[in-house]
Amino acid sequence: MNLDKILSIGGKPGLYKMLTQTRTGLVAESLLDNKKVTVSMSSNVSVLSEIAIYTLEEELPLREVFHKIQIKEDGGKTSVKHKDDKLVLEEYFFEVLPNYDEDRVYVSDIKKIIQWYNILIDHGITDFTLPEEDSDKKVKEEKEE
């Protein structure tokens, strides 16, 4: 499973797997407790594949941040917990992404990223590479530059 079907729903903890779309919203299943929830169109829903993190040069897709964490942790869970001290979290994130924009990436964002990464690893979602067609397009764009 890739990040295109994994959702963050505003006001609800954890991550959700999108099961189906309905006329008025969607049905999702919690990755924390496997409960199904219906989500209306008016809810604040973010697809993980569409989230990016600010760096000093550009916005880096969340999947690439997850991939960097995965490399640092040899595919395992993070060595820090999302409830650790602010300085511990910032130091860890700086090791993963040394050029992140400290003015626009808050500790609350770092906590979410670490928590989400650990949830994904717990559920065997470990493929943070680009889908084939996106990867081909990115390679083509890099050659043109």
Per-residue model confidence as pLDDT tens digits over 29-48: 999 999 999 999 899 999 99
pLDDT at 139 exceeding the cut of 60: no
What is the average pLDDT value for the chain, to the nearest integer?
88
* DSSP string for 79-113: SS-TTS-HHHHHHHHHHH-TTB-TTTS-HHHHHHH
> 94: closest CA among 121, 72, 63?
72
Which pLDDT score is estimated for 137? Answer: 47
pLDDT at 94 exceeding the cut of 80: yes
Structure tokens at 111: 């906590």
HSE, side-chain direction, 13 A CA sphere, residue 47: 8
- Which domains can be identified in the chain, with CATH numbers? 3-48 (2.30.30), 51-129 (1.10.10.1650)
Which pLDDT score is estimated for 129? Answer: 77
